[in-house]
Amino acid sequence: MKTIFITGTSSGIGKETVKHFSANGWNVAATMRTPEKETELQKLKNVRLYTLDVNDEASIKSALDNAIKDFGGIDVLYNNAGYAAVGPFEASDDVEIKRQFETNVFGVMRVTRAILPYFRSKNDGTIITTTSMGGLITFPLYSLYHSTKWAVEGFMESLQFELRQFNIKVKCIEPGAIKTDFYDRSMNRIDKPAFNMYDNYSAVCHGNMDKVALNAPGPLVVAKKVFKAASSNNFRLRYAVGGQGPLLLFIRRMVPNSWFFGMVRMVTEKGFKKKI
């Protein structure tokens, strides 16, 4: 029986992925910052919960060591923990910028680095990371979030070359809009008092993108894609999934920048009237 180690399982894609792998006969090491608050996952077959904060190296090492001990090994690491800081970049500060990168970029790097000696020792393993279609294309007001996801895409793409010699596979899951609590629980909308020069633009863009999210598929489609990536023995790097994400990524590759940027503005800025 194979084992997957997942970060960020308290909600959304992470939680749904735990359920899907458990239902399909895998052992699951489900990690989160406060597992004592979780009441649903601990009831599932072959699932164990561990305390892990991607910004705390000691908790990462402890969770990995305990999972290997409890399950006899780990076959797949799924880096899923993350959040989005959203809003006008000018309204952000160093604290928010650093926090965004600490979790989405350095957190992924910490957990990945921690498991590499183990995967090398057995000359096998798979590292899967939720990067998002936002790691290859961009939308307004998401500059901090996009910058982290573009960084992780580059990190994973480069990493796959050096790890192939050890039979370690590197795979990116690139969801489009997914209907989860991401837009509430996992999103921090930057709000600086008395900083209102972007308010009209922000309201229009957030409103348009929230409408897209309402019609998006649920997290199960991503969980199924993660399962496909984890179960495959190939070295395929990218797995686009969810709603219009795969189509948008295809269009991005095929059309000139000016055309694609125009499409983004047409959707996200619909109803916005620039003050003259």
pLDDT tens figures, 213-240: 888 899 999 999 999 999 999 999 999 9
> Where do the H-state alpha helices sit in the chain?
12-23, 57-71, 94-101, 107-122, 143-163, 199-214, 220-231, 245-254, 257-268
Q: Which residues of 217-230 are buried (b: 16+ CB within 10 A; e: fewer)?
A: bebebbbebbbebb
- Listed residue (141, 135, 138, 133) closest to 155, CA to CA: 135
Give pLDDT, residue 274: 74
The pLDDT tens digits of the residues spanning 240-271 come to 998 778 888 999 999 999 999 999 999 999 98
Q: How far apart are CA 80 and CA 95, in angstroms?
A: 22
Express each pLDDT in 90-124 by its tens digit: 999 999 999 999 999 999 999 999 999 999 999 99
Q: Answer whether 7's CB lies under 8 Å from 80's CB.
A: yes
Say how many Å lie between the first and final Cα of the chain, rounded.
Answer: 64
With 0-12 / 13-18 / 19 or more C-beta atoms within 10 angstroms meaning exposed / middle / buried, residue 37 is exposed
* 81 within 8 A of 8, measured Cβ to Cβ: yes
Amino acid at residue number 72: G
Give Rg (Cα) of the chain: 19
Q: Three-class SS of residue 172? A: strand
Q: Which of 78, 142, 145, 239 is catalytic?
A: 145
Which residue intervals of 72-106 are DSSP H helices? 94-101
Q: Identify the band that residue 211 occupies on the pLDDT scale cut at 50, 70 and 90.
A: confident
In the Cβ-directed half-sphere of 256, how many Cα atoms lie within 13 Å? 2
pTM of the predicted protein model = 0.92
Indicate if 145 belongs to the active site.
Answer: yes
Which of 78, 47, 45 lies closest to 226 in space, CA to CA? 78
**Does residue 172 have a pLDDT over 90?**
yes
**Average pLDDT, rounded, for the chain:** 93
State the helix-helix crossing angle for 143-163 and 94-101, rounded to 10 degrees: 30
The single-letter code of the amino acid at 176 is G
* H or E segment to which residue 77 belongs: strand 76-79
What pLDDT does residue 73 have?
Answer: 98
Q: DSSP string of 193-251? A: TT--TTHHHHHHHHHHHHHHHHTS--THHHHHHHHHHHH--S---EEEESTTHHHHHHH
Domains of the chain from N-terminus onward = 3-196+218-252 (3.40.50.720)
For range 139-147, the mean pLDDT: 96
Do the Cβ atoms of 33 and 60 come closer than 8 Å?
Answer: no
Do 10 and 184 form a contact (C-beta atoms < 8 A)?
no
Residues 13 and 81: their CA atoms lie apart, in Å, by 9
